[in-house]
């Protein structure tokens, strides 16, 4: 038996390249740490006693450990209800948005749709002009009758024109021969879209899905305008209400004759920040690989 | 009665009588229900009122349950409270009103949309309910003079005002332990206050006191009414027109003639003395300018150096022992005392307004209430909404249920006009300024020390207050687009300069004077005179109307 010795050719890396690599790594590591610092300070502050925070300022480790901010936050069931609403809206909303955006973007990308140009302009127009708050409010609440419905958190923002154009451009970049060959095999447009186009579009769909998920998770405006029932309010709406109430008390207390000392604390603001970023931060690792490749879509074609 | 026709006739008559009586009964029960709803009558049909407010109360359900249990047979009203935050409430209510949405009671105020919405006729007239024997609660709680501030020029009452005393006495909270350490008597004058501050600053400089400043100031409130002569001026018929929502110390001031018929002049911060020439002596010079240039510069030298950029509430500075005093209201006493005791100190307060310190009578401001409930014009349950408000003020017990919570659980009565706060796990709290505050239904917190209690008693005594000549006058900022623009522009300049001028941080009078001149030049260019003219015109029109 002959032993074959494999020699790995050693490529000598020039010192300059090494230095550059070290510099890049160091820069990225330092940058990453700097990004983490505010988060750590916030986390530490959320576990610090209010008085200690005011006295000693923000520190990396709580100067006086306290869970009072979280107790305040979780003392009612409201926050749990809001979590459920937020999760429902994010999951269902993202799925519906992806479906609706795809169904709009694909026909526009084929170049065969009659009135595609006019339709494109119609969609583009909404990026430049809106009806304004009052007409939108009246449309949604009076004519669509969606006030105090969970669907008001999804339907009015179902399609984002920017995302639609992004997806349309991605679809346009897919070689037409793919769809053509399927058509020769007897596939209709729906089959082509679902069986041929969408499977090769996962990076774009993941990217846009993430955009939608973040938009739904962070959306509070619809809820504040159209939702009166507290059990239908999503997490962000509850939090913005808390923060605005705090600001209001700070600014107006003196002018309207109410007590100013019971202002909701800084620590509870920090605790709410920690509570809200929790679930959505878990989405990133799952879509990250698609997200980064998705970003390149449109500029680099394989 | 053997004749069958007679029998039929009798039966018909009986049925008709019965029907008539039933109808009378129904109408009488309806009218009873539509009145106070408290007298024994047939149970009214259940009604749900939609009430829009802001600032979520705590453990509200237990109070609502008790209310439902107590009134099931009389009012039979269910309350659907919708609480948002103040900012959303301010945005949302005009939208709801223009959309004619279902709402029965809505919180509003001049610092929200009251002037605009009332001007647009969004709120129903409530005349029929006030001063009406059928609504005894409303009649006893809301006097004609109190309602003057919510009566428009056509005599329509458009809102229900909520306020306790006409003033929440402004005080300066100090550390009693430090005052005693310096061997000082309780502070009774501004000179003594300054001496206290001098002692604190000397200790800080010497390194023997771990504090950053003698007084903590932050935000737009700054020194508030310290050395601001508005209360003395009111006695001379000079009033601050604060419904322009300008910052304290920067508002328009108007002098009214002794006969209450003519506006003598309107002046504001920055004006030359000539603008005040027609004001009665000794207020015929611009005392606001001298306050900013001299007085606030002096007090500012005792404040923390970074006050302009201070992000912490000033209360936090005081609570953590970083400063030796702060300005506040007497209503904060309990919270202040607890916080200062927690850090091993002792609290004391100094009433810095001469008239109030000497417990003299005070002329009220034109608007004593800041907060109101209104019934939207589209509400189909106006009667029931007013029955509920009537019930609230029908007895002290009813009122206390919503203001303080459940007796014996959240609070304990002490006599007829005081209470002791209890601390159950599900402690109730409600923003009383949105619905329950009333000068006739005040309970004083019994845990207050004697010092604070006597101030609160003076404050809550109706005899403390004298009626204001222009009671009920509200400046309308929306009369012309020019005025609206000018107010927005001047407010923006004020918000830029207020922290500099009102915190007295320029260090010296010359610098303060230069900044004041800079502010005034910009404010004049932005339309200060448009606002001044509008103030004068509106006020004169108001006087003409009330004197006719």
Q: How many domains, chain B?
A: 2
Find chain A residues with C-beta within 8 A of B168's C-beta: 257
Taking the whole predicted model, whether its pTM rises above 0.80 is answered as: no
Q: Which domains does chain A possess?
A: 15-66 (no CATH), 72-296 (1.10.3720.10)
**CA-to-CA distance for A116 and A203, rounded, in angstroms?**
25
Same domain, B135 and B228: no
The per-residue pLDDT for range A239-258, each reduced to its tens digit, is 888 777 766 665 554 444 44
Contact flag A255-B370 (C-beta cutoff 8 Å): yes
Q: How many residues does chain A have?
A: 302
Measured in angstroms, the CA of A113 and the nearest CA of chain B are apart by: 39
* Highest mean pLDDT, choosing among A39-53, A62-76, B37-51: A39-53
What pLDDT score was predicted for residue A5? 54
What pLDDT score was predicted for residue A239? 81
Question: Is A36 part of the contact surface with chain B (CB cutoff 8 Å)?
Answer: no
Question: Is A246 part of the contact surface with chain B (CB cutoff 8 Å)?
Answer: no
What number of C-beta contacts closer than 8 Å exist between A and B?
A: 102
**CA-to-CA distance for A194 and B333, rounded, in angstroms?**
68
Q: Which of A57, A34, A50, A73 is nearest to A276 (CA)?
A: A73
Q: What percent of chain B has pLDDT above 90? A: 58
Q: What's the ipTM?
A: 0.73
B275 falls within a domain: yes
What pLDDT score was predicted for residue B311? 63
Find chain B residues with C-beta within 8 A of A252's C-beta: 86, 111
Task: Specify whether the CB–CB gap between B364 and B468 falls below 8 A.
Answer: yes
Would you place residue B259 in the very low, low, confident or very high pLDDT band (cuts 50, 70, 90)?
very high
Is a pLDDT exceeding 90 seen at residue B49? yes
B15 falls within a domain: no
Q: Which of B430, B454, B429, B434 is nearest to B444 (CA)?
A: B454
What pLDDT score was predicted for residue A125? 93
B204 falls within a domain: yes
The per-residue pLDDT for range B416-466, each reduced to its tens digit, is 888 988 888 888 888 888 999 998 998 888 888 888 999 999 998 889 999
The per-residue pLDDT for range B205-237, each reduced to its tens digit, is 999 999 999 999 877 777 888 998 999 999 999
For the segment B314-331, the average pLDDT, to the nearest whole number, is 87
Question: A67-81, B68-82, B262-276: which has the minimum mean pLDDT?
Answer: A67-81
3-class secondary structure for B1-51? CCCHHHHHHHHHHHHHHHHHHHHHHHHHHHHHHHCCCCCCCCCCCCEEEEE
What pLDDT score was predicted for residue A292? 63
B413 falls within a domain: no
What pLDDT score was predicted for residue B192? 96
What pLDDT score was predicted for residue B245? 63
Structure tokens at B149: 């501030």
Per-residue CA distances from B394 to A260, B36, B64, B139, B425 (Å)? 30, 9, 17, 9, 30
Report the DSSP beta bridge partners of residue A132.
none
Where is B172: in which H helix or E strand? strand B170-175
Task: Specify whether the CB–CB gap between B346 and B367 falls below 8 A.
Answer: no
Q: Which of B99, B163, B317 sits opposite A141 (nearest CB)?
A: B99
Would you place residue B32 in the very low, low, confident or very high pLDDT band (cuts 50, 70, 90)?
very low
Structure tokens at B375: 């019934």
Report the DSSP beta bridge partners of residue B175.
B347
Would you place residue B57 in the very low, low, confident or very high pLDDT band (cuts 50, 70, 90)?
confident
B492 falls within a domain: yes
**CA-to-CA distance for A15 and B530, rounded, in angstroms?**
73
B202 falls within a domain: yes
Interface test with A, best of B80, B86, B502 (most A CBs within 10 A): B86
The residue among B354, B384, B404 that closes a domain is B404
Is a pLDDT exceeding 50 seen at residue B346? yes
For the segment A255-270, the average pLDDT, to the nearest whole number, is 56
What pLDDT score was predicted for residue A132? 86
Question: Is A252 part of the contact surface with chain B (CB cutoff 8 Å)?
Answer: yes
What pLDDT score was predicted for residue A302? 41
The per-residue pLDDT for range A151-190, each reduced to its tens digit, is 999 999 999 999 999 999 999 988 888 888 888 989 898 9
For the segment B324-337, the average pLDDT, to the nearest whole number, is 88
Same domain, B302 and B284: yes
Same domain, B148 and B186: no
Question: Is A2 part of the contact surface with chain B (CB cutoff 8 Å)?
Answer: no
**CA-to-CA distance for A92 and A234, rounded, in angstroms?**
14
B284: CATH: 3.40.190.10
Question: Is A139 part of the contact surface with chain B (CB cutoff 8 Å)?
Answer: no
Contact flag B370-A256 (C-beta cutoff 8 Å): yes
Same domain, B250 and B387: no
Is a pLDDT exceeding 80 seen at residue B37? no
Contact flag B86-A248 (C-beta cutoff 8 Å): yes
Same domain, B274 and B327: yes
What pLDDT score was predicted for residue A254? 44
Q: What percent of chain A has pLDDT above 90? A: 36
Contact flag A254-B55 (C-beta cutoff 8 Å): no
Nearest CA in chain B to A137: B95
B91 falls within a domain: yes
Question: Is B161 part of the contact surface with chain A (CB cutoff 8 Å)?
Answer: no
Max CA pair span of chain A: 96
Is a pLDDT exceeding 50 seen at residue B30? no
Same domain, B523 and B391: no
User: What is the number of alpha carbons within 13 Å of residue B279 lying toward its C-beta?
Assistant: 25
Q: Which of B87, B101, B224 sits opposite A244 (nearest CB)?
A: B87
Would you place residue B313 in the very low, low, confident or very high pLDDT band (cuts 50, 70, 90)?
low
Domain that holds residue B337: 164-366+468-548
Same domain, B148 and B203: no
B304 falls within a domain: yes
What pLDDT score was predicted for residue B9? 46
What pLDDT score was predicted for residue B544? 93
What pLDDT score was predicted for residue A67? 85
Question: A50-64, A88-102, B126-140, B231-245: which has the minimum mean pLDDT?
Answer: A50-64
Contact flag B343-A256 (C-beta cutoff 8 Å): no
What pLDDT score was predicted for residue A251? 54
What pLDDT score was predicted for residue B21? 36
Angle, in degrees to the nearest 10, between helices A235-256 and B86-98: 100
**CA-to-CA distance for B438 and A84, rounded, in angstroms?**
41
What pLDDT score was predicted for residue A301? 45
Torsions phi, psi for B76 (to 5 deg): 55, 45
Measured in angstroms, the CA of A260 and the nearest CA of chain B are apart by: 7
């Amino acid at each position: 038996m002959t032993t074959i010795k494999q020699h790995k050719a050693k490529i000598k890396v020039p010192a300059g390249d090494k230095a550059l690599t070290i510099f890049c790594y160091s820069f990225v590591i330092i940058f990453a740490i700097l990004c983490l610092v505010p988060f750590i300070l916030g986390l530490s502050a959320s576990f610090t006693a209010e008085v200690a925070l005011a006295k000693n300022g923000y520190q990396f480790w709580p100067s006086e450990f306290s869970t009072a901010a979280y107790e305040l936050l979780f003392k009612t069931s409201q926050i749990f209800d809001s979590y459920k609403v937020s999760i429902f809206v994010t999951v269902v909303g993202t799925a519906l948005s992806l479906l609706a955006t795809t169904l709009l973007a694909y026909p526009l990308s084929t170049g065969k749709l009659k009135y595609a140009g006019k339709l494109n302009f119609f969609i583009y127009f909404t990026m430049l002009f809106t009806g304004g708050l009052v007409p939108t409010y009246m449309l949604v609440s009076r004519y669509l009758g969606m006030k105090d419905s969970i669907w008001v958190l999804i339907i009015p923002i179902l399609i984002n024109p920017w995302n639609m154009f992004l997806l349309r451009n991605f679809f346009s970049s897919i070689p037409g021969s793919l769809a053509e060959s399927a058509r020769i095999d007897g596939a209709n447009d729906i089959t082509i879209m679902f069986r041929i186009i969408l499977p090769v579009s996962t990076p774009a769909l993941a990217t846009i899905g993430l955009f939608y998920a973040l938009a739904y998770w962070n959306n509070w405006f619809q809820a504040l305008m159209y939702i009166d029932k507290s059990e239908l309010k999503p997490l962000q709406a509850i939090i913005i209400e808390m923060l605005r109430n705090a600001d209001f008390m700070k600014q107006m207390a003196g002018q309207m004759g109410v007590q100013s000392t019971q202002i909701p604390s800084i620590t509870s603001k920090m605790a709410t920040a920690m509570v809200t970023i929790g679930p959505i931060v878990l989405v990133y690792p799952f879509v990250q690989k698609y997200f980064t490749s998705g970003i390149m879509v449109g500029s680099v074609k394989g | 009665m053997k004749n069958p026709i007679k029998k039929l006739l009798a039966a018909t008559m009986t049925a008709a009588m019965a029907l008539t009586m039933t109808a009378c009964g129904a109408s009488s029960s309806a009218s009873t229900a539509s009145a106070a709803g408290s007298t024994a009558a047939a149970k009214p049909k259940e009604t749900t009122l939609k009430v829009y407010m802001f600032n979520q109360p705590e453990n509200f359900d237990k109070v609502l349950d008790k209310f439902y249990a107590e009134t099931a047979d009389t009012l039979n009203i269910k309350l659907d409270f919708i609480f948002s935050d103040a900012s959303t409430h301010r945005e949302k209510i005009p939208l709801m009103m223009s959309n004619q949405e279902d709402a029965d009671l809505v919180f509003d105020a001049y610092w929200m949309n009251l002037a605009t919405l009332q001007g647009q006729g969004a709120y129903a007239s409530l005349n029929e309910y006030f001063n009406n024997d059928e609504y005894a609660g409303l009649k006893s709680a809301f006097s004609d003079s109190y309602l003057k501030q919510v009566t428009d020029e056509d005599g329509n009452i458009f809102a229900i005002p909520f306020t306790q005393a006409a003033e929440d006495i402004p005080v300066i909270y100090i550390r009693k332990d430090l005052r005693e350490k310096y061997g000082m008597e309780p502070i009774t004058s501004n000179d003594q206050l300054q001496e206290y501050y001098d002692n604190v600053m000397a200790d800080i400089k010497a390194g023997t006191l771990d504090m950053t400043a003698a007084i903590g100031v932050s935000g737009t409130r700054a020194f508030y009414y310290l050395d601001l002569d508005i209360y003395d001026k009111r006695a001379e018929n000079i009033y601050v027109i604060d419904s322009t929502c300008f910052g304290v110390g920067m508002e328009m001031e108007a002098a009214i003639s002794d006969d209450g018929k003519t506006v003598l002049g309107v002046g504001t911060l920055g004006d030359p003395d000539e603008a005040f020439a027609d004001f009665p002596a000794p207020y015929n010079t611009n005392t606001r300018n001298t306050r900013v240039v001299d007085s606030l510069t002096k007090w500012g030298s005792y404040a923390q150096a970074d006050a302009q950029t201070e992000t912490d509430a000033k209360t936090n500075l005081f609570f953590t022992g970083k400063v030796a005093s702060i300005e506040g209201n007497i209503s904060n006493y309990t919270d202040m005392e607890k916080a200062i005791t927690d850090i091993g100190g002792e609290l004391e307060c100094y009433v810095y307004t001469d008239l109030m310190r000497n417990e003299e009578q005070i002329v009220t401001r034109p608007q004593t209430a800041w907060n109101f409930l209104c019934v939207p014009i589209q509400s189909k349950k106006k009667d029931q909404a007013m029955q509920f408000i009537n019930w609230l003020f029908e007895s002290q017990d009813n009122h206390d249920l919503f203001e303080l919570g459940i007796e014996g659980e959240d609070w304990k009565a002490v006599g007829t006009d005081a209470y002791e706060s209890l601390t159950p796990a599900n402690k109730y709290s409600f923003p009383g300024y949105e619905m329950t505050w009333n000068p006739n239904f005040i309970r004083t917190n019994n845990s207050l020390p004697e010092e604070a209690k006597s101030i609160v008693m003076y404050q809550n005594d109706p005899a403390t207050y004298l009626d204001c000549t222009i009671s009920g006058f509200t400046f309308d900022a929306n009369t012309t687009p020019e005025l609206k623009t000018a107010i927005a522009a001047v407010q923006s300049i004020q918000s830029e300069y207020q922290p500099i001028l009102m915190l007295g941080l320029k260090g010296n009078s010359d610098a303060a004077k230069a900044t004041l001149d800079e502010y005034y030049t910009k404010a004049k260019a932005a339309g200060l005179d448009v606002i001044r003219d509008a103030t004068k015109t509106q006020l004169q029109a108001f006087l003409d109307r009330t004197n006719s």
